[in-house]
Structure 1
Amino acid sequence: MTEIDSKEIQQLYQKKICGWNIGDAAKFAEPYSEDADFIGFDGIHLEGKQQIITFHAMLFDKFVRGTRLVGKVKHIRFPTSTVAIVIGISGTIESGHDSINPERNSIHTIVAVKTGYKWKFSSFQNTRAQYVGSPEKIDVLTNELKQLIQS
Protein backbone atom coordinates (compact mmCIF):
# COMPACT_ATOMS: atom_id res chain seq x y z
CA MET A 1 0.00 0.00 0.00
CA THR A 2 3.04 2.19 -0.36
CA GLU A 3 4.58 3.90 -3.32
CA ILE A 4 7.17 1.10 -3.32
CA ASP A 5 4.38 -1.49 -3.67
CA SER A 6 2.91 0.43 -6.60
CA LYS A 7 6.30 0.62 -8.31
CA GLU A 8 6.93 -3.11 -7.80
CA ILE A 9 3.57 -3.94 -9.38
CA GLN A 10 4.25 -1.61 -12.31
CA GLN A 11 7.63 -3.31 -12.78
CA LEU A 12 5.93 -6.72 -12.87
CA TYR A 13 3.59 -5.44 -15.57
CA GLN A 14 6.54 -4.17 -17.62
CA LYS A 15 8.40 -7.46 -17.09
CA LYS A 16 5.43 -9.29 -18.63
CA ILE A 17 5.53 -6.93 -21.63
CA CYS A 18 9.30 -7.35 -22.00
CA GLY A 19 8.89 -11.13 -22.02
CA TRP A 20 6.34 -10.79 -24.81
CA ASN A 21 8.55 -8.44 -26.80
CA ILE A 22 11.45 -10.90 -26.81
CA GLY A 23 9.13 -13.84 -27.50
CA ASP A 24 10.12 -15.65 -24.30
CA ALA A 25 7.19 -17.47 -22.70
CA ALA A 26 9.02 -18.15 -19.42
CA LYS A 27 9.99 -14.47 -19.04
CA PHE A 28 6.44 -13.45 -19.96
CA ALA A 29 5.04 -15.73 -17.23
CA GLU A 30 7.62 -14.78 -14.58
CA PRO A 31 5.34 -12.22 -12.85
CA TYR A 32 2.60 -14.82 -12.32
CA SER A 33 2.17 -17.02 -9.26
CA GLU A 34 2.44 -20.78 -9.67
CA ASP A 35 -1.36 -21.12 -9.32
CA ALA A 36 -2.33 -18.05 -11.38
CA ASP A 37 -5.49 -17.88 -13.47
CA PHE A 38 -5.09 -16.28 -16.90
CA ILE A 39 -8.08 -15.40 -19.09
CA GLY A 40 -7.14 -14.48 -22.66
CA PHE A 41 -8.99 -12.05 -24.90
CA ASP A 42 -10.72 -14.99 -26.60
CA GLY A 43 -11.93 -16.52 -23.33
CA ILE A 44 -9.26 -19.20 -22.92
CA HIS A 45 -8.66 -20.05 -19.26
CA LEU A 46 -5.10 -21.03 -18.40
CA GLU A 47 -4.61 -22.50 -14.95
CA GLY A 48 -1.17 -22.11 -13.40
CA LYS A 49 2.12 -20.68 -14.55
CA GLN A 50 3.08 -23.80 -16.51
CA GLN A 51 -0.04 -23.56 -18.71
CA ILE A 52 0.68 -19.84 -19.23
CA ILE A 53 4.21 -20.71 -20.37
CA THR A 54 3.16 -23.59 -22.63
CA PHE A 55 0.37 -21.65 -24.32
CA HIS A 56 2.47 -18.54 -24.89
CA ALA A 57 5.41 -20.55 -26.23
CA MET A 58 3.01 -21.83 -28.91
CA LEU A 59 1.72 -18.30 -29.57
CA PHE A 60 5.23 -16.86 -29.88
CA ASP A 61 6.19 -19.68 -32.22
CA LYS A 62 3.16 -19.46 -34.50
CA PHE A 63 0.68 -16.60 -34.21
CA VAL A 64 2.32 -13.57 -32.61
CA ARG A 65 5.95 -14.02 -33.63
CA GLY A 66 7.62 -10.64 -34.01
CA THR A 67 4.78 -8.65 -32.45
CA ARG A 68 5.52 -6.09 -29.77
CA LEU A 69 3.40 -4.84 -26.91
CA VAL A 70 3.28 -1.42 -25.38
CA GLY A 71 1.37 -0.90 -22.19
CA LYS A 72 1.15 0.59 -18.77
CA VAL A 73 -0.61 0.36 -15.47
CA LYS A 74 -3.45 2.89 -15.32
CA HIS A 75 -4.68 2.31 -11.80
CA ILE A 76 -3.87 0.30 -8.68
CA ARG A 77 -6.23 -0.15 -5.76
CA PHE A 78 -5.23 -1.90 -2.54
CA PRO A 79 -8.23 -3.54 -0.81
CA THR A 80 -5.73 -4.91 1.74
CA SER A 81 -2.00 -4.51 2.30
CA THR A 82 -1.34 -7.79 0.46
CA VAL A 83 -3.86 -7.60 -2.40
CA ALA A 84 -3.92 -5.15 -5.30
CA ILE A 85 -6.44 -4.72 -8.09
CA VAL A 86 -4.57 -3.48 -11.14
CA ILE A 87 -5.98 -1.99 -14.33
CA GLY A 88 -3.60 -1.89 -17.28
CA ILE A 89 -3.78 -1.07 -20.97
CA SER A 90 -1.81 -2.48 -23.87
CA GLY A 91 -1.58 -2.24 -27.60
CA THR A 92 0.05 -4.49 -30.18
CA ILE A 93 2.46 -3.53 -32.92
CA GLU A 94 2.27 -6.32 -35.45
CA SER A 95 5.36 -7.80 -37.05
CA GLY A 96 6.61 -5.62 -39.89
CA HIS A 97 4.63 -2.57 -38.74
CA ASP A 98 5.56 0.59 -36.85
CA SER A 99 2.21 1.53 -35.37
CA ILE A 100 -0.36 0.05 -33.03
CA ASN A 101 -3.24 -1.94 -34.47
CA PRO A 102 -6.27 -0.41 -32.66
CA GLU A 103 -8.26 -3.63 -33.13
CA ARG A 104 -5.86 -5.34 -30.71
CA ASN A 105 -5.94 -2.77 -27.91
CA SER A 106 -6.71 -4.38 -24.56
CA ILE A 107 -7.73 -3.54 -21.03
CA HIS A 108 -6.33 -5.79 -18.31
CA THR A 109 -7.72 -6.53 -14.89
CA ILE A 110 -5.13 -8.13 -12.64
CA VAL A 111 -5.18 -9.32 -9.05
CA ALA A 112 -1.72 -9.04 -7.52
CA VAL A 113 -0.95 -10.76 -4.23
CA LYS A 114 1.96 -10.06 -1.91
CA THR A 115 3.44 -13.10 -0.21
CA GLY A 116 6.22 -12.27 2.18
CA TYR A 117 7.95 -9.37 0.46
CA LYS A 118 7.15 -10.28 -3.13
CA TRP A 119 4.25 -9.35 -5.41
CA LYS A 120 2.94 -11.81 -8.02
CA PHE A 121 0.00 -11.75 -10.40
CA SER A 122 -2.59 -14.23 -9.18
CA SER A 123 -5.29 -13.54 -11.75
CA PHE A 124 -5.27 -11.85 -15.16
CA GLN A 125 -8.19 -10.95 -17.44
CA ASN A 126 -7.51 -9.60 -20.94
CA THR A 127 -10.40 -7.83 -22.66
CA ARG A 128 -10.21 -6.36 -26.14
CA ALA A 129 -11.17 -2.68 -26.07
CA GLN A 130 -14.06 -2.60 -28.55
CA TYR A 131 -16.03 0.29 -26.98
CA VAL A 132 -19.33 -0.67 -28.59
CA GLY A 133 -21.29 2.55 -29.16
CA SER A 134 -18.29 4.79 -28.39
CA PRO A 135 -15.78 4.38 -31.25
CA GLU A 136 -14.08 7.67 -30.37
CA LYS A 137 -12.74 5.97 -27.21
CA ILE A 138 -10.71 3.63 -29.42
CA ASP A 139 -8.83 6.64 -30.81
CA VAL A 140 -8.27 8.04 -27.31
CA LEU A 141 -6.82 4.74 -26.08
CA THR A 142 -4.70 4.26 -29.21
CA ASN A 143 -3.26 7.77 -28.86
CA GLU A 144 -2.45 7.13 -25.20
CA LEU A 145 -0.64 3.94 -26.16
CA LYS A 146 1.21 5.68 -29.00
CA GLN A 147 2.72 8.02 -26.39
CA LEU A 148 4.46 4.99 -24.89
CA ILE A 149 6.20 4.24 -28.19
CA GLN A 150 7.62 7.74 -28.33
CA SER A 151 8.85 7.77 -24.73
Structure 2
Amino acid sequence: MGTTEDRAAIGQTIDAPVDAWGRHDADAYGAQFTDDATYVTYYRGRADIVESHRVLFDKFVKGTRLADQVLDVRFLGADAAVVTGRGDTYKGDPPAKLSKVQTYAMVREVDGRWRIAAFHNTKRRPLMERISFRTAPGLVPAAER
Protein backbone atom coordinates (compact mmCIF):
# COMPACT_ATOMS: atom_id res chain seq x y z
CA MET A 1 0.00 0.00 0.00
CA GLY A 2 1.16 3.51 -0.71
CA THR A 3 3.08 4.11 -3.89
CA THR A 4 6.37 5.93 -4.23
CA GLU A 5 4.37 8.82 -5.69
CA ASP A 6 2.05 8.84 -2.65
CA ARG A 7 5.02 8.94 -0.27
CA ALA A 8 6.56 11.81 -2.26
CA ALA A 9 3.24 13.72 -2.31
CA ILE A 10 2.82 13.25 1.44
CA GLY A 11 6.39 14.47 1.95
CA GLN A 12 5.64 17.56 -0.13
CA THR A 13 2.47 18.19 1.87
CA ILE A 14 4.48 18.04 5.11
CA ASP A 15 7.28 20.21 3.66
CA ALA A 16 4.87 22.91 2.45
CA PRO A 17 3.88 24.17 5.94
CA VAL A 18 7.57 24.32 6.89
CA ASP A 19 8.19 26.57 3.88
CA ALA A 20 5.05 28.63 4.56
CA TRP A 21 6.08 29.06 8.21
CA GLY A 22 9.44 30.45 7.10
CA ARG A 23 7.59 33.07 5.03
CA HIS A 24 5.01 33.59 7.80
CA ASP A 25 2.31 32.90 5.21
CA ALA A 26 -0.77 31.75 7.13
CA ASP A 27 -2.77 31.09 3.95
CA ALA A 28 -0.11 28.80 2.45
CA TYR A 29 0.30 27.11 5.83
CA GLY A 30 -3.42 26.46 6.14
CA ALA A 31 -3.77 25.29 2.53
CA GLN A 32 -2.16 21.99 3.50
CA PHE A 33 -5.04 21.14 5.83
CA THR A 34 -8.48 19.80 5.00
CA ASP A 35 -11.40 22.21 5.37
CA ASP A 36 -12.47 20.41 8.56
CA ALA A 37 -8.98 19.63 9.89
CA THR A 38 -8.30 19.27 13.58
CA TYR A 39 -5.20 20.97 14.94
CA VAL A 40 -5.45 18.86 18.05
CA THR A 41 -3.94 21.34 20.48
CA TYR A 42 -6.30 24.22 19.69
CA TYR A 43 -8.01 24.67 16.37
CA ARG A 44 -10.83 23.20 14.30
CA GLY A 45 -11.04 23.71 10.53
CA ARG A 46 -8.75 25.29 7.95
CA ALA A 47 -10.15 28.80 8.47
CA ASP A 48 -9.40 28.63 12.22
CA ILE A 49 -5.89 27.30 11.53
CA VAL A 50 -5.19 30.08 9.01
CA GLU A 51 -6.50 32.92 11.18
CA SER A 52 -4.77 31.72 14.33
CA HIS A 53 -1.46 31.35 12.50
CA ARG A 54 -1.85 34.82 11.02
CA VAL A 55 -1.85 36.13 14.61
CA LEU A 56 0.91 33.73 15.75
CA PHE A 57 3.19 34.78 12.87
CA ASP A 58 2.65 38.43 13.79
CA LYS A 59 3.22 37.94 17.53
CA PHE A 60 4.35 34.85 19.43
CA VAL A 61 6.29 32.99 16.71
CA LYS A 62 7.36 36.07 14.75
CA GLY A 63 10.77 35.52 13.17
CA THR A 64 10.84 31.80 13.87
CA ARG A 65 11.43 28.94 11.45
CA LEU A 66 9.94 25.46 11.54
CA ALA A 67 11.98 22.25 11.43
CA ASP A 68 10.35 18.92 10.63
CA GLN A 69 11.61 15.35 10.24
CA VAL A 70 9.38 12.53 9.02
CA LEU A 71 10.16 9.28 10.81
CA ASP A 72 7.47 6.99 9.43
CA VAL A 73 4.60 6.91 6.94
CA ARG A 74 2.03 4.16 7.51
CA PHE A 75 -0.75 3.76 4.98
CA LEU A 76 -4.17 2.79 6.34
CA GLY A 77 -5.69 2.40 2.88
CA ALA A 78 -5.30 3.94 -0.56
CA ASP A 79 -6.38 7.39 0.66
CA ALA A 80 -5.31 7.56 4.31
CA ALA A 81 -1.98 7.55 6.12
CA VAL A 82 -0.51 8.28 9.52
CA VAL A 83 2.79 10.16 9.54
CA THR A 84 4.95 10.35 12.64
CA GLY A 85 7.90 12.64 13.06
CA ARG A 86 9.72 15.23 15.06
CA GLY A 87 9.59 19.01 14.82
CA ASP A 88 10.47 22.28 16.46
CA THR A 89 10.37 26.04 16.02
CA TYR A 90 13.60 28.00 16.22
CA LYS A 91 15.43 31.24 15.53
CA GLY A 92 18.94 31.22 14.11
CA ASP A 93 20.43 27.80 13.45
CA PRO A 94 18.16 24.73 13.39
CA PRO A 95 18.27 22.73 16.63
CA ALA A 96 20.42 19.58 16.68
CA LYS A 97 17.57 17.66 18.34
CA LEU A 98 13.94 18.37 17.58
CA SER A 99 11.98 18.67 20.84
CA LYS A 100 8.47 17.77 19.69
CA VAL A 101 6.85 14.51 18.61
CA GLN A 102 4.32 15.01 15.82
CA THR A 103 1.51 12.92 14.39
CA TYR A 104 -0.29 13.73 11.15
CA ALA A 105 -3.46 12.02 9.92
CA MET A 106 -3.29 12.43 6.14
CA VAL A 107 -6.07 11.96 3.59
CA ARG A 108 -6.17 12.09 -0.18
CA GLU A 109 -9.04 14.40 -1.07
CA VAL A 110 -11.31 14.28 -4.11
CA ASP A 111 -8.95 16.60 -6.03
CA GLY A 112 -6.19 13.98 -5.62
CA ARG A 113 -4.11 16.09 -3.20
CA TRP A 114 -2.91 14.76 0.12
CA ARG A 115 -3.86 17.06 2.99
CA ILE A 116 -3.54 17.05 6.75
CA ALA A 117 -6.82 16.04 8.41
CA ALA A 118 -5.44 16.11 11.95
CA PHE A 119 -2.18 17.26 13.51
CA HIS A 120 -0.89 16.72 17.03
CA ASN A 121 2.30 18.18 18.46
CA THR A 122 3.70 17.11 21.85
CA LYS A 123 6.77 18.52 23.60
CA ARG A 124 9.28 15.87 24.64
CA ARG A 125 10.71 15.86 28.15
CA PRO A 126 14.34 14.73 27.62
CA LEU A 127 15.33 14.70 31.31
CA MET A 128 12.34 12.55 32.27
CA GLU A 129 12.98 10.29 29.28
CA ARG A 130 16.63 9.78 30.32
CA ILE A 131 15.67 9.01 33.91
CA SER A 132 12.90 6.64 32.84
CA PHE A 133 15.02 4.87 30.23
CA ARG A 134 17.94 4.47 32.65
CA THR A 135 15.82 3.11 35.50
CA ALA A 136 13.50 1.02 33.30
CA PRO A 137 15.34 0.06 30.07
CA GLY A 138 12.24 -1.73 28.77
CA LEU A 139 10.68 1.69 28.20
CA VAL A 140 13.23 2.68 25.56
CA PRO A 141 11.41 2.77 22.19
CA ALA A 142 12.96 0.75 19.36
CA ALA A 143 13.64 4.00 17.45
CA GLU A 144 15.81 5.21 20.36
CA ARG A 145 17.93 2.04 20.75
**Alpha-carbon distance change, 38 to 9 in structure 1, aligned in 2, over 3 angstroms:** same
Gaps of 5+ in 1: 137-151
1:35 matched to 2:36? The reply is yes
Asked whether the equivalents of residues 81 and 107 of structure 2 are also in contact (C-alpha less than 8 Å), the reply is: yes
Give the match for residue 91 of structure 1: 88
For 2:94 and 2:14, the matched residues in 1 are separated by 21
For 2:46 and 2:96, the matched residues in 1 are separated by 28
Match of 1:63, SS state, is coil
**Alpha-carbon distance change, 63 to 110 in structure 1, aligned in 2, over 3 angstroms:** same
For 1:32 and 1:7, the matched residues in 2 are separated by 17
Give the match for residue 116 of structure 2: 121
For 2:109 and 2:88, the matched residues in 1 are separated by 30
For 1:10 and 1:4, the matched residues in 2 are separated by 10
Asked whether the equivalents of residues 13 and 72 of structure 1 are also in contact (C-alpha less than 8 Å), the reply is: no
Match of 1:37, SS state, is strand
Q: May I ask how many residue pairs the two structures share in their alignment?
A: 129
Alignment map for 1:1-151 (pairs within 5 Å): 1-40=2-41, 44=42, 46-94=43-91, 97-100=92-95, 105-116=99-110, 117-131=112-126, 133-135=128-130
Structure 1 consecutive aligned stretches of length 4 or more whose deviation exceeds 3 Å = none
TM-score norm. by structure 2 comes to 0.81
Asked whether the equivalents of residues 16 and 31 of structure 1 are also in contact (C-alpha less than 8 Å), the reply is: yes
TM-score norm. by structure 1 comes to 0.78
Asked whether the equivalents of residues 93 and 101 of structure 1 are also in contact (C-alpha less than 8 Å), the reply is: no
For 2:8 and 2:104, the matched residues in 1 are separated by 15
Gaps of 5+ in 2: 132-145
Match of 1:133, SS state, is helix
